Structure 1
Amino acid sequence: MGIIDRIILSIYTLLLIVLALGVIMLSLRLVSLEIIWTSLSYIYGQWEAGLAGLVFLLISLRLFFAGIRPKNRRDTIVHHTEMGNVHISVSAVENLVEKVTRIIRGVRDAKISVVHDEQTGLKISIRASVSPESNVPAVTSEIQQRVKEYIKNTVGIDAVEISIIVENISNDFKPKQRVK
């Protein structure tokens, strides 16, 4: 459940608490029944009340389906071998791709995003900053080739799509992270 759904759920829960307190007060005769009937007679025929009811219905349905819907995104990649299954986390693949891109000459910085889907396979998106003295098509081609080979040799799966976006061509030097 996302952050927006959690905020909506919190507000919705508070409104249900108020409604529950109202029912408790009615059942204990702390509130007069005439007050409730007067309030309900005011709502009768008001389109704004119907709109508010529709909003609450839609919020209820959204929260209901958000609670029962399974997550589509898999956090692991399953590699089938003769001896059994190997689960590799998507963040591990992102770290491998980052390691490969940072050692390529001409790459200043790289941000990696990896998405794995059962039907489409592995998709890698790289947002890179390159140095101005490098040949951008050659650098991007080398990134794609090295990433594909490294993922195939290390993880044992083929990357279906490797897309590269050159965000910046810059002289700004950011020190490369060392792998310990």
Structure 2
Amino acid sequence: MNIILRVLLAVYAFFLTIASMFAMLVTIRSDILTDTYTYLYNEVLANRNPSIVMFIIASIFFCLSLTFLLSGFKPEGDKKAIIKYNKNGDIRITLNSIENIALATSRKLSGIRDSKAYVTKVGENVIITVKAIVLPEINIPLLSEDMQIKVKSSVEDCTGVQVESVKVLIESIFTGYKSSRVE
């Protein structure tokens, strides 16, 4: 549940608490209900402006009620894991685990100085993005294609999760030293 929905739920719960306290008070002293009804009928509903405000407030609470009711039926799913079902139960493989497999595979390749892996869930499949720093004098297209093939097969073999695509971003060429640039 996002933060806006939580704030609205807190406001809704506050006003619902006031309404329930009023209902408890009415059971103790029933003349309060008669007095409240008389006040609402003579003062609020007789005038046009207060009745419009009351209608707007009632509409807001009706919409909030529908929102909270429908949010309970919305299938959230697990956004940080892929769920695989088998006859013995279900297996949850976190996206972090898939990132670590992709990272280990990409770092084993010769010509890679450093790499980072990011995994995005797309339905029951994943998209892997590998950002790498390569050593100089490496054929980048061949290395990238090799990385895509090996990362995809490694993740699919280890987890059973289908990899939709492996995107490779070569961030830099490793030079061995940091130069201070003067502009």
Is TM-score (shorter-chain normalized) higher than 0.5? Answer: yes
Aligned-partner Cα distance in 2 for 1:89–1:25: 53
> What TM-score do the two structures reach when normalised by structure 1?
0.66
Once the two structures are superposed, the pairs formed by residues 36-47 of structure 1 within 5 Å of their partners are: 36-39=37-40, 41-42=43-44, 45=48, 46-47=51-52
SS at match of 1:162: strand
Once the two structures are superposed, the pairs formed by residues 112-131 of structure 1 within 5 Å of their partners are: 112-115=118-121, 117=123, 121-126=124-129, 128=131, 130=133
> What TM-score do the two structures reach when normalised by structure 2?
0.65
For the Cα contact (< 8 Å) 2:116–2:132, is it kept in 1? Answer: yes
Deviation, structure 1 residue 100: 2.7
Distance 1:154 1:66, change over 3 A: same
For the Cα contact (< 8 Å) 2:134–2:173, is it kept in 1? Answer: yes
Residue of structure 2 in register with 1:95 after alignment? 100
Residue of structure 2 in register with 1:146 after alignment? 150
For the Cα contact (< 8 Å) 1:108–1:130, is it kept in 2? Answer: yes
Aligned-partner Cα distance in 2 for 1:51–1:170: 62
SS at match of 2:72: helix
Deviates more, 1:127-136 or 1:7-16: 127-136
Deviates more, 1:41-50 or 1:143-152: 41-50
Aligned-partner Cα distance in 2 for 1:73–1:124: 16
Aligned-partner Cα distance in 2 for 1:37–1:23: 17
For the Cα contact (< 8 Å) 2:106–2:151, is it kept in 1? Answer: yes
Distance 1:109 1:6, change over 3 A: farther
Residue of structure 1 in register with 2:6 after alignment? 6
Residue of structure 2 in register with 1:59 after alignment? 64
Which stretches in structure 2 are left out of the alignment for 5+ residues?
177-183
Residue of structure 2 in register with 1:178 after alignment? none
Percent identical across equivalent pairs? 14
Q: Max radius of gyration: which structure?
A: 2
Distance 1:58 1:103, change over 3 A: farther
For the Cα contact (< 8 Å) 1:79–1:156, is it kept in 2? Answer: no
Structure 1 residues 5-62: Cα deviation after superposition (integer angstroms, max 9, x where no partner): 3332222111100111122223322847334532454156433332222221121111
For the Cα contact (< 8 Å) 1:97–1:147, is it kept in 2? Answer: yes
Aligned-partner Cα distance in 2 for 1:15–1:71: 28
Which stretches in structure 1 are left out of the alignment for 5+ residues?
174-180
Which amino acid in structure 2 is aligned with residue 98 of structure 1?
A: L
Deviation, structure 1 residue 151: 1.4
For the Cα contact (< 8 Å) 2:135–2:173, is it kept in 1? Answer: yes
Structure 1 residues 94-119: Cα deviation after superposition (integer angstroms, max 9, x where no partner): 332233344454464525224152xx
CA root-mean-square deviation: 3.8
Count residues in correspondence: 166
Residue of structure 1 in register with 2:35 after alignment? 34
SS at match of 2:76: coil
For the Cα contact (< 8 Å) 1:122–1:161, is it kept in 2? Answer: no
Residue of structure 1 in register with 2:84 after alignment? 78
